[in-house]
Amino acid sequence: MSQHLITSSPSSSPITSSPQHPSTHRPAIAMRDISKRFGTVIANDRITFDASWGEVHALVGENGAGKSTLMSILAGLYRPDSGAVEIDGQPVHFRSPRDAIGHGIGMVYQHFMLVEPFSVAENVVLGERRSGVNLETARVARELTALSEKYALGVDPQAKIWQLSVGEQQRVEILRLLYLGARILVFDEPTAVLTPQETHGLLRNLRGMAGQGFSVVFISHKLDEVQEVADRISVLRRGQIVATTTPAATDRRTLARMMVGRELADFVARPADEPRAEVDRGGAMLELRGLSALGEKGLPALREIDLEIRSGETLGIAGVAGNGQRELAETVTGLRPVTAGTVRIDGKAMTNRPAAEITRAGVAHIPEDRLATGLIGGMDLSANAILRDYGQPPLCHGPFLLTRAVSAFTDRLLTANDVKAPGRWTKLRTLSGGNQQKLLLGRELAGEPRLIVAVHPTRGVDVGATEAIHDALRAQRARGAATLLISEDLDELLALADRIAVLFAGRIMGTIPTASADREQIGLMMAGIESREAEVVMDV
Amino acid sequence: MSNRLTGSPAHRLRLERVPSPSRGATALVTVLSFALALLAGGIVLALAGENPIAVYLAMVKGAFGDRNGVAEVLVKTTPLLLTGLGVAVAFRMQLWNIGAEGQLYWGAIFATGVGLFVLPAAPGWVLVPAMIAAGLLGGGLWGLIPGALRAWFGASEIITSLMLNYVAILFSEYLVHGPWRDPGAFGFPGTPPLPAAGWLPNLGTTRIHLGLLFGLIAALLLWIMLRRTRWGYEIGVMGENPRAALYAGMPTKRTILLVMALSGALAGLAGMSEVAGIGHQLQRNLSPGYGYAAIIVAWLGRLHPFGAVLVAFLLAALTVGGDQLQMNLGLPAAIAPMLQGAILFFLLGGEVLTRYRLTRVIG
Amino acid sequence: MSDFLTPTFVISVLAAAVAAGTAILFACLGELITERAGVLNLGIEGIMLMGALAGAGGCIWSGSAWVGAGAALLAGAAMAAIHALLCVGLRANQVVSGLALTIFGTGLSAFLGRDIVGMPPPSSFRRIDIPFLAEIPILGRILFQQSALVYVSIALVVFLWWYIFRTRAGLRLRAIGERPEAADAMGVDVARLRALYVVMGGALAGLGGAALSLGTNPGWTEGMTAGRGWIAVALVIFAAWNPARAAAGAYLFGGVEAGQFRLQTAGVDLSPFFLSMLPYLFTILVLVLSTREATRRALGAPAALGRAYMREDRG
């Protein structure tokens, strides 16, 4: 299990077009003056970027800096408005991902490009450029098994994608690219969904692939990982490359400053052991006993969860995506039926009460996917601002909404939370992610909630807005609110939570006070390994 | 393969999303879709050996050529408006009620039943309101069925509401051929005439009747409801983002039931006003497909009550023009629905241009 | 009542069920591949009407039922091409576009068919007994003493099942309906394939119309499909997007239709109006039951059904 990918020599590679040896840092990719505009947003502004054979080139930048756009252009998914791309010295014009695959470019997207009801082998066949009628899944499965064994990827070609964990799905993506003959591998934020141990294994694999002659592009905003794995680092800010450097020539603080364009104390993960203001703790605000619930597919998603959060306390929930986080938040807020166990809020039984009643009991909910759940993209800011309070005075009188009161309420909310928008009549969808989240957060926290359920509150939000959101959550804690903070970002949990509970396969693996938390231990628990004594080290 | 790829860069056109379409663009597209549909219809007419200009002129003359034509347009506006409003309110919530036709029939059946059997001797000030209530109730209950199947079983209201159209029409045929048939009448099957007290008053000597006013009042009330009330806001949120509605604790199932009932009730009122205002009896072929044209009224009117008023009038003119063709030129009245469908196509295509912008890129 | 349940009667009803169900089956298969590709087409009723008209018209013009069937395929494809253009090319609302197609097809067929209403086609698809197979007791009478179109439809069911579940092209078809992004990233041309399947699905629905006008109800009359297109759409859910189950569902409806006529001729004391309601009520029942089953067993529609896909669509 501890053996990891690519230890063999290049000559034994089963890949038809074997990657060149990292002899002379010949450029594998050269992108010149690439520009790409989405409506009024310039995602890429005359970017020049290259990566050599045998090199790991990291591309760092904030959310929205244009990293994914640039790589989607390389993968043939987007077409640039202007600029040129060369592969191995030859100019290319990709019209579709098919062309890019044909040139040996393989991309592991942030959201995996796998068809869930299909098996691993079927997903691979989908990308094969072979003509012919029959599926030949048997042949492909045989070859995949061999390839998987060779690189110790541990992928079962017959498994259906939806049965696999996130980490396994990522290995399916890698296996598929190897099978399809990719020589240039692009990883878009690959570690965001992994446990620390899996991350470690993946980073070693990236180095191993570069050692074999592959060209690897690694997109991330986690600077310690970048420092560990990269040969070169390019920093992207607001659609432009602001620097290209090496790990030796820089440090995390400098990189962070270049990414954001200003000094930012908080960005380099706030030390976990920083003393936390003591808050007067009350009794249990949220109490879960034996809580169980089903997921979307009707399978158990939460199994006998016991949790307790007191006033003025923040409980962080760590875990790899898809281990019951969404279901936990939804059962507490009344959006998903509880199949067994109890929910008590401030001592009152709230099991399977309607969402509206739970809200009235002083529960705020910052949902996982703001545009899908918490906001209405196609309606104006007023309609979004009043979503919680439209049924109460002063916003309504009898069945009628009072236009003037709604306007005043909206303007107040926008000003108080520094939401930058042309006006309250603007459609919500046209706001940036950060401004959308500030509006949502402001709305949810306006009523001085006693319990806050926050799920990935800073996902897809730029650094400035992240700071503002963290400050708001800290202020709520200081005010005495209990917070259930669900996040995939361990740094965020370490910075905000008093205790961290780890969720795996719908169970709480354990709860640790943040002060004594150790990333390795949390990582093991995220992988489902319960005790410290466990000697097995999970690898990718 | 790579030769094709490394060829010279070409200019291409690309669709690009525009954050919010402007009102001007929206209005322009609506007008253009009408014009283009007429053009395309003209081509079909020409291919079928007719002179499109003569046909269109005949239609315009039939609809607006004299007082009777205009009056007839307003008569046809009434059921189109009422059913269109019903469809629009359901569509706003992404409830695809296409059962307005059946709901119209049930409104007519209930109203006729009240007039003939429940309160046959009542004075007008009792009978007319009772028939209105019966019409609303009949259509509302019939609309409630697909609503309930959707709310409780998740069954697609598109198919159930449509299937119920056939059932409603067959049931009304059964009544007019069977138990409710006027024994004194020969030939065309229908019920005995309603008591005169239940007839809706006409405007002067025209066939325009009080039903038109029902439609206009309904449009106004609906506009107030959608724009100014909590319930209207909830319908808007549920239509735009059902998950957000759940998140905010809105009563989704109850609202589905109520909106489908309201939608059906408006169509039922159309049925009532047709029997009480025009035929004065329940008869075969009560509706020439008003409930389907209602879909066009709703969508072309941008699901806005006042938009529905305008579009109902235009489609009524188209229908009257089509009927005139049948009478004067011996052409099938089906030209009208054909053009209606075409208008909707062009509108759907044109809407894209308001949501997206065509840009030229080098790639 | 005694002559009701004789074996001869039951077999004749079953044979009639297959004959009557064939029109719905073609339409259902058409909608099935359309939905597998991720596009909802509610215009099947209008397409079937145009197919029925083209079938009768083509046959009257040429004298050959096969030419009629070819015309129906083309008419169905042309109608569906409008839907493909609007929904795949321009990403219009699929529900409304489908409804528009039905309204348009109803009107256009009534207009174009005005001169051939009630005219009997000079030829139609008549019964052909397949040697040997037709001799098989019971099954032979039900399945192998039918018209050529019935045999085509049965072959099509087998072919489509194999195509969807056992070929590379079928894998791509399923992928664009389940997760277009993933298919796109793997180099599958989503828009082109979607448009292709919408058009092919329309062609099949058109052929379904011809199965009426050249088969069970020869000749053209306005609105002659009488909701069969909608029943076909509902049946796709019952079929759980599987051609074999689609055949079962279509024959079930054929049975309801055939049984209804036989009950009438057998003198059952129920108004013909109520008997005529049966297929529609039965559709609602089947829809409710299959929706519940689908929810319970989590056998869902193609995940991207009804969702337009545009690669560079952001914000």
Residue C62 three-state SS: helix
Binned at pLDDT 50, 70 and 90, residue A267 comes out as very low
pLDDT tens track for A74-92 = 988 888 999 999 999 899 9
Indicate the residue type of A129: R
Average pLDDT over residues A421-432: 85
- Residue A242: exposed, middle, or buried by beta-carbon count in 10 A (0-12, 13-18, 19+)? middle
* Per-residue model confidence (pLDDT) at position B13: 58
**For chain C, how many residues are written?**
315
Sole residue written with tokens 């046209």: A430
Q: Answer whether A356 touches B (CB < 8 Å).
A: yes
The Cα B69–Cα B67 span in angstroms is: 5
Task: Compute the nearest-CA separation of C3 from chain A (Å).
Answer: 49
The answer to whether residue C1 is domain-embedded is no
Structurally, how many domains does chain C consist of?
Answer: 1
Chains near B (3 or more Cβ pairs under 8 Å): A, C
Residue B13 three-state SS: strand
The answer to whether residue A266 is domain-embedded is no
The answer to whether residue C314 is domain-embedded is no
Average pLDDT over residues B284-293: 90
Q: Are residues A316 and A463 in the same domain?
A: yes
Query: Residue C165: which of C270, C239, C241, C223 has the closest Cα?
Result: C241
Indicate the residue type of B159: I
Q: Any idea what the CATH number is for the domain that residue C286 is in?
A: 1.10.3470
Residues 6+ apart with CB under 8 A from A470: A266, A458, A492, A495, A496
Average pLDDT over residues A257-279: 58
The answer to whether residue C251 is domain-embedded is yes
Q: Which of A254-268, B71-85, B96-110, C197-211 has the lowest mean pLDDT?
A: A254-268
Residues 54-93 of A with CB under 8 A from B: 79-82, 90-93
Q: Answer whether B329 touches C (CB < 8 Å).
A: no
Domain boundary among A226, A260, A294: A260
Closest residue of chain C to A176, computed from CA coordinates: C186
* 8 Å CB contact between C172 and C183: yes
The answer to whether residue A146 is domain-embedded is yes
* 8 Å CB contact between C154 and C211: no
The Cα A262–Cα A275 span in angstroms is: 26
Residues 370-409 of A with CB under 8 A from B: 372-379, 383, 386-388, 390-391, 396, 399-401, 403
Q: Which of A93-97, A386-390, B30-34, B116-120 has the lowest mean pLDDT?
A: B30-34
Chains near C (3 or more Cβ pairs under 8 Å): A, B
Q: Could you say which of B149, B171, B332 has the minimum Cβ distance to residue C288?
A: B149
Q: Are residues A154 and A303 in the same domain?
A: no
The answer to whether residue C16 is domain-embedded is yes
* Per-residue model confidence (pLDDT) at position A263: 61
* 8 Å CB contact between B80 and B267: no
pLDDT tens track for A307-349 = 999 999 999 999 888 889 989 999 999 999 999 999 999 989 9
The answer to whether residue C312 is domain-embedded is no
Binned at pLDDT 50, 70 and 90, residue A208 comes out as confident
Tokens read off for B94:
């992404």
Residues 6+ apart with CB under 8 A from B92: B226, B235, B236, B239, B303
Average pLDDT over residues A405-421: 91
Binned at pLDDT 50, 70 and 90, residue A535 comes out as very low
Q: Is the pLDDT of residue A383 over 60?
A: yes
* Per-residue model confidence (pLDDT) at position C313: 55
Q: Give whole-number Cα distances, A411 to A356, A363, A400, in Å.
A: 25, 23, 20
* Per-residue model confidence (pLDDT) at position C47: 97
The answer to whether residue C313 is domain-embedded is no
Q: Is the pLDDT of residue B285 over 90?
A: no
* Per-residue model confidence (pLDDT) at position A394: 87
Axis crossing angle, helix C243-265 with helix C7-36, rounded to the nearest 10:
140
Q: Which of A103-112, A356-365, A429-438 has the lowest mean pLDDT?
A: A429-438
- Residue A416: exposed, middle, or buried by beta-carbon count in 10 A (0-12, 13-18, 19+)? exposed
Give the mean pLDDT of chain A. 84
Q: Are residues A47 and A136 in the same domain?
A: yes
Indicate the residue type of B248: A
Torsion angle of alpha carbons A354, A360, A366, A370, nearest 10°?
A: 60
Which residues of chain C have a CB within 8 Å of the CB of B342?
104
Which residues of chain B have a CB within 8 Å of the CB of A95?
5, 363
The answer to whether residue A405 is domain-embedded is no
Domain encompassing residue A62: 23-260
The Cα A149–Cα C106 span in angstroms is: 60
Average pLDDT over residues B6-19: 51
Q: Any idea what the CATH number is for the domain that residue A191 is in?
A: 3.40.50.300
* 8 Å CB contact between A93 and B5: yes
Strand partners, C74: none
* Per-residue model confidence (pLDDT) at position A21: 43
* 8 Å CB contact between C80 and C203: yes
Q: Is the pLDDT of residue A534 over 70?
A: no
Query: Residue C290: which of C244, C234, C213 has the closest Cα?
Result: C234
Q: What is the DSSP string of A354-382?
A: -HHHHHHTTEEEE-SSIIIII--TTSBHH
* Per-residue model confidence (pLDDT) at position C27: 97
Domain encompassing residue C269: 7-297
Average pLDDT over residues B326-351: 82
pLDDT > 90 in chain B, percent: 58
* Per-residue model confidence (pLDDT) at position B211: 94
Q: Is the pLDDT of residue A296 over 80?
A: no
The answer to whether residue A92 is domain-embedded is yes
* 8 Å CB contact between A302 and A329: no
Q: Are residues A170 and A308 in the same domain?
A: no
Structurally, how many domains does chain A consist of?
Answer: 2
Q: Are residues A177 and A300 in the same domain?
A: no
Q: Is the pLDDT of residue A61 over 60?
A: yes
Instruction: Kindly state the DSSP code that residue A213 receives in the 8-state scheme.
Output: T
**For chain B, how many residues are written?**
363
Closest residue of chain B to A430, computed from CA coordinates: B19
Q: Is the pLDDT of residue A108 over 60?
A: yes
Which residues of chain A have a CB within 8 Å of the CB of C175?
115, 118, 126
Q: Are residues A249 and A296 in the same domain?
A: no
The answer to whether residue C311 is domain-embedded is no
End-to-end CA distance of chain A: 9
Instruction: Kindly state the DSSP code that residue C267 receives in the 8-state scheme.
Output: T
pLDDT > 90 in chain C, percent: 57
Pairing state between β A400-401 and A396-397: antiparallel
Closest residue of chain B to A388, computed from CA coordinates: B248
Tokens read off for B271:
């049925």
Sheet-wide strand order for A41-52: A41-52, A27-38, A82-87, A90-92
| H helices present in A187-233, as ranges | 196-211, 223-229
Which residues of chain B have a CB within 8 Å of the CB of C287?
155-156, 159-160
Q: Is the pLDDT of residue B27 over 50?
A: yes
* Per-residue model confidence (pLDDT) at position B359: 59
Q: Is the pLDDT of residue A151 over 80?
A: no
Binned at pLDDT 50, 70 and 90, residue A95 comes out as confident
* Per-residue model confidence (pLDDT) at position A97: 84
Q: Are residues A55 and A178 in the same domain?
A: yes
Pairing state between β A90-92 and A105-108: unpaired
The Cα B87–Cα A438 span in angstroms is: 37
- Tell me how many degrees the CA angle B288-B292-B294 measures, rounded to the nearest 5: 105
Side-chain-side CA neighbours of residue B342 (13 Å): 21
Q: Is the pLDDT of residue A306 over 70?
A: yes
Residues 6+ apart with CB under 8 A from B217: none
Segments of chain C scoring below 70 in pLDDT: 1-5, 296-300, 312-315
Q: Which of A421-430, B15-24, B140-149, B183-192 has the lowest mean pLDDT?
A: B15-24
Tokens read off for A195:
């446990």
Q: Is the pLDDT of residue A203 over 60?
A: yes
Residues 491-520 of A with CB under 8 A from B: none
The Cα A302–Cα A324 span in angstroms is: 6
Binned at pLDDT 50, 70 and 90, residue B288 comes out as confident
pLDDT tens track for A38-56 = 777 788 999 999 999 999 9
Average pLDDT over residues B2-6: 35
The Cα C313–Cα C315 span in angstroms is: 7
Q: Is the pLDDT of residue A155 over 80?
A: yes
Q: Is the pLDDT of residue B361 over 80?
A: no
Q: Answer whether B66 touches A (CB < 8 Å).
A: no
Query: Could you state, in order of their start, the residue ranges of all structural domains in chain B?
Result: 86-297
pLDDT tens track for B183-211 = 887 777 889 999 999 999 988 888 999 99
- Residue C275: exposed, middle, or buried by beta-carbon count in 10 A (0-12, 13-18, 19+)? middle
- ipTM for the whole complex: 0.88
pLDDT > 90 in chain A, percent: 42
* Per-residue model confidence (pLDDT) at position A278: 60
